[in-house]
């Protein structure tokens, strides 16, 4: 396999972990970034089992200096960056009038500004490699509602940010897209359902079945399905795709 290096953030769980394991088939080296060092090492083992080299970096990308550190460590270890997949960040689904200042700031700091800073820090290396970037948004960017206003607002900002990076990337030779997943069954979603179900006098099974029905979809997505889309976006087959916001949601969004 020719030398190629991808950075995956949020790699300790969920879509980030699934994406890292999937990309191990296409890249010779993976740089895995997340805050949970124990789970990160578990992902690293899975990536090595597929055959890729691994650099695992335990870092909080909400910290302003973390992005430069991740890029410096990546270039010291592998000398190049061919792809950057910004997946880290979860925003609490809290009502607009109940979301605290701290929750707003935490969501913005990691999911939006963490991705922005890391993309800027990696940009010179991405230009040199004619590389690709993906930013993780979500379906709520298209229909922000009061019960999850922060999620929708931040996801919409990420789509706009990706579009701005893609505009610069046209002249610099860097491809940039965003991905908007619908309801995906991750460990975080399971934890949410386990908390939500008893508060609404439901069993976990009833609560789990409720959300797909309300969303008008047949089932939840799986992290591995989103990982396949992420892998395509940083593959040679997607080189002419840039500035796109790709939705993968089982048909949740009904509008054109």
Residues noted as catalytic: 148
- Is the CB of residue 77 less than 8 Å from the CB of residue 55? yes
User: Measured between alpha carbons, how far apart are the two ends of the chain, in Å?
Assistant: 40
What is the C-alpha to C-alpha distance for residues 14 and 43, in angstroms, rounded to an integer? 10
CB atoms near residue 216 (< 10 Å)? 11
Two tokens, residue 7: 């950075």
- Is the CB of residue 106 less than 8 Å from the CB of residue 96? no
DSSP labels for 4-18? -EEEEESTTSHHHHH
Two tokens, residue 252: 């949740």
**Residues near 169 by Cβ (< 8 Å), separated by ≥ 6?**
133, 175, 176, 242
**Residues near 25 by Cβ (< 8 Å), separated by ≥ 6?**
50, 51, 231
- Is the CB of residue 181 less than 8 Å from the CB of residue 233? no
Nearest residue to 235 via CA among 19, 33, 46, 54:
19
What is the C-alpha to C-alpha distance for residues 202 and 208, in angstroms, rounded to an integer? 10
What is the C-alpha to C-alpha distance for residues 31 and 29, in angstroms, rounded to an integer? 7
């Amino acid at each position: 396999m020719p030398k190629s290096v991808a950075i995956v953030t949020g790699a300790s769980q969920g879509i980030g972990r699934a994406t890292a394991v999937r990309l191990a088939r296409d890249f010779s080296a993976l740089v895995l970034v997340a805050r949970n060092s124990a789970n990160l090492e578990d992902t690293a083992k899975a990536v090595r089992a597929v055959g890729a080299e691994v650099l695992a970096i335990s870092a909080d990308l909400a910290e302003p200096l973390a992005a430069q550190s991740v890029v410096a460590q990546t270039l010291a270890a592998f000398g190049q960056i061919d792809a950057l997949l910004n997946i880290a960040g979860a925003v609490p689904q809290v009502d607009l009038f109940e979301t605290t200042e701290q929750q707003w700031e935490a969501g913005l700091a990691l999911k939006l500004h963490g991705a922005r800073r890391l993309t800027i820090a990696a940009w010179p290396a991405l230009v040199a490699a004619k590389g690709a970037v993906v930013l993780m948004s979500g379906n709520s960017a298209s229909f922000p509602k009061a019960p999850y206003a922060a999620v929708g607002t931040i996801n919409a900002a990420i789509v706009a940010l990706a579009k701005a990076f893609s505009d610069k990337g046209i002249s610099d030779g860097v491809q940039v897209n965003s991905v908007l997943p619908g309801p995906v069954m991750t460990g975080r979603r399971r934890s949410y359902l386990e908390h939500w179900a008893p508060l609404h006098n439901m069993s976990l099974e009833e609560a789990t079945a409720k959300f797909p029905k309300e969303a008008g979809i047949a089932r939840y997505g799986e992290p591995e399905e989103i990982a396949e889309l992420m892998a395509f976006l940083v593959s040679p087959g997607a080189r002419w795709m840039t500035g796109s916001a790709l939705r993968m949601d089982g048909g949740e969004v009904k509008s054109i």
